[in-house]
Structure 1
Amino acid sequence: MGREIMKFRQLCFVVVAVVLGLGLLAPSVSSAKWPDRPITLIIPYVPGATGDITARMLADEMEKILGVKIIPSNKPGASAVLGTDAAVRAKKDGYTLVYAGASALVYAPITNPQIVKYDPFKDLEPLGFHYYFPQGIGVKADAPWKNFQEMVEHAKKNPGQIRVSTIGVGSTPHFVLEMIQSITGTKMTHVPFEGGESVVTAVMGGHVEATCDGFAKIKPHMEAGRMRFLLTTTKLPGYPQFPTITELGYKEPLFATWFALYAAAGIPEEARNALVPAIEKAVKATKERVDKMGSLCEYKSPAELRKMTEEEYRVGVETAKKMNLTPKK
């Protein structure tokens, strides 16, 4: 009898030990290190566009830091609004990010609000700023205008004759083009494209006379002698010969576009805590390559990014009203 009681006690001890062991294991399963599976990065630009190239560059660096695959997914359209909207509608678990920028978060909501179904400040969570993408006016190397002022004079004498390509209605370049026309008192014809190199090839093929786009996109064609750059929105290190519009005597400055990483608002704290420092490291790792392309890589924290975007939106709204760029009701 004593031996049976002893065996029973031993059995109870084993059962209790197993139960306790399972209890100890449960928290470790639920608190597994984030991320524990691939992350989708929505790129709202066409393959081969500058934003696509730099988004993939950043994703490669983040993969090394986070230790999981980051899967790029191109969703272009509507001045990057379609891809940004897809990220807003994604599950709020941190496993879907979007490489958004000024077009989708500032200028499309101002100039083309009917296509923007999200609130850029309530529905998206900023995770880190990547770089500024200076815009400007580029023309074919054999264009009759040697500088921006000559182009302005021609536009004044020939309203609507100069066709200018951009990456789409409501995009930052479109906003910049509208500002240029308002500031200089000219009338040009806007020719929107979906994005990518199409805006530049349209110039090269003679389908338009000029493009309003990023310096980084025009730079290789300029260096090959196929294009000339007449005006920049932001002073470019190493290229003092390209004037800003205020250097030419106009009072109103132009805006540059930019790119940053976002997720749908409401992602878990563990996701944010992993993503924010990883993005900072990845941005700094890409700086030399991004700067060499003709852009200005400059990391900003989520708080700095939010403040910058809110201020740019405020100034953009004021500018649009003053220049009659807001849509008619």
Structure 2
Amino acid sequence: MSSLTLILSVFSCLVLLAGGPGLGAEWPTKPITAIVGVAPGGMSDVSTRLIVEKFKDRLGQPVMVSNQGGAGGITGLRALLSAPPDGYTFSSGALSSALVAPFLLNAQPFDLDKFFFIGGYCVQARIVWAKPDQPYKNWPEFVEYARKNPGKISAGSGGSQLGLDVFKSVAKKEGIKLNFVMFKSGGEASTSILGGHVDVCETGTGTPAYQAARQGKLIPLIGLSPVPDPNFPNLKGVLDWGYPFSMTSDYGMAMRKGVPEPIRARLEKALKETLEDPGVRTTMFTMGFPPRFSSGKDYEAMVRKNVADVPRLSAYVKDVE
């Protein structure tokens, strides 16, 4: 073997070990798509747009947001899995809630091994809201009113099947009958509660409903999460009241398995750097949506735990309409 042939052979091996040309160095060469599994206006949508706007500076290509809401986020994840594993499509938002939705909707669960997790960017609490002109001003008053008016209270949910089912578990524990309504996003749910189209509604922190509550236009009744909220320090959560289930929406990003690791790593790095951006951090804190980066490995562990915990909740609320 000549010296030139040997050199070329060694170089070829190094390229293959590095993931091949274009996998880490040349990628991306065209715009990237971020699939958001809720309608425009929800926090998955708003937070994704805020973050990916900064990706262009770090990746050299724009990221286009594609809203594909429906079925508690299932529609968006199915769209992700149907996309080619070339690094030009990822999903973003409350993925933990979307991945548990099939268990709560009697749909085929996702195979988590088909996902390649980029990283997490926030842990969101969920809160039940009411308008100040309602006859109940706190949680005990609401429960008492609901018991006296079975089936007359409409209760909305802002795009999270898990949030809705935790709300259902509370209603079952109290023996109250509510008319539950699922919206495609926290934005839609916020519009409905503010417009008086539903009596109470659960949404995540940072949503328009949350901002309205900070202005006194809505009142918080109960937190569905074990995470305290600094803007409502006296608000009790479901665990404080002795209910058996709670939840958080763990926001992050994922691709389908098969995408080369160098591409996933570049997106993880872009996400981490974006969450360190002072302007992004200030905006997210102002929205009541504090940023918290977690690596792809840590985010995957968080998601897998949430999915493993769901069957017990699903069994508990299966008879609640």
Pair in the same fold by TM > 0.5: yes
Superposed CA offset, 1:135-158 (max 9, x none): 111001211111011101111222
Partner of 2:203: 213
Does structure 2 retain, via aligned residues, the 8 Å contact 1:110–1:326? Answer: no
Instruction: From 230, 243, 247, give the equivalent of 1:237.
Output: 230
Partner of 1:317: 311
Residue 291 of structure 2 aligns to a residue whose secondary structure is strand
Partner of 1:190: 180
Partner of 1:246: 239
Instruction: From 63, 66, 69, give the equivalent of 2:56.
Output: 63
Instruction: From 254, 268, 273, give the equivalent of 2:265.
Output: 273
Partner of 1:180: 170
Instruction: From 242, 254, 262, give the equivalent of 1:262.
Output: 254
Matches within 5 A, 1:127-206: 127-168=118-159, 171-206=161-196
Superposed CA offset, 1:238-296 (max 9, x none): 42121112223x14241121211010111012212312211221233333322321223
Residue 297 of structure 1 aligns to a residue whose secondary structure is coil
User: How many Å apart are 1:110 and its aligned residue?
Assistant: 1.2
Does structure 2 retain, via aligned residues, the 8 Å contact 1:179–1:254? Answer: no
Give TM-score, length-normalised by structure 1. Answer: 0.83
Does structure 1 retain, via aligned residues, the 8 Å contact 2:214–2:231? Answer: no
Partner of 2:297: 303
Residue 203 of structure 2 aligns to a residue whose secondary structure is strand
Partner of 1:284: 276
Does structure 1 retain, via aligned residues, the 8 Å contact 2:55–2:274? Answer: yes
Letter paired with 2:52: A
Does structure 1 retain, via aligned residues, the 8 Å contact 2:166–2:313? Answer: no
User: How many Å apart are 1:102 and its aligned residue?
Assistant: 2.5
Partner of 1:222: 213
Superposed CA offset, 1:12-48 (max 9, x none): xxxx9xxx9xx99xx7x94452222221111222122
Instruction: Note if 1:48 corresponds to 2:41.
Output: yes
CA distance in structure 1 between the aligned counterparts of 2:292 and 2:216, rounded to whole angstroms: 29
Does structure 2 retain, via aligned residues, the 8 Å contact 1:60–1:70? Answer: yes
CA distance in structure 2 between the aligned counterparts of 1:59 and 1:274, rounded to whole angstroms: 13
Counting matched residue pairs gives 300
Residue 46 of structure 1 aligns to a residue whose secondary structure is coil
Give TM-score, length-normalised by structure 2. Answer: 0.85
Superposition CA RMSD, Å: 2.6
Q: Note closer, same or farther for the CA distance 1:253–1:237 as it changes in structure 2 (3 Å cut).
A: farther
Instruction: Note if 1:97 corresponds to 2:97.
Output: no
User: How many Å apart are 1:327 and its aligned residue?
Assistant: 9.9
Does structure 1 retain, via aligned residues, the 8 Å contact 2:158–2:186? Answer: yes
Superposed CA offset, 1:93-130 (max 9, x none): 11101114222112x1211142x5742x1221111001
Deviates most, 203-212 or 80-89: 203-212
Identity across matched positions, percent: 25
Unaligned 5+ segments in structure 1 are: 1-15
Letter paired with 2:236: P
Does structure 1 retain, via aligned residues, the 8 Å contact 2:104–2:162? Answer: no
Deviates most, 309-318 or 30-39: 30-39
CA distance in structure 2 between the aligned counterparts of 1:243 and 1:117, rounded to whole angstroms: 32
User: How many Å apart are 1:320 and its aligned residue?
Assistant: 2.4
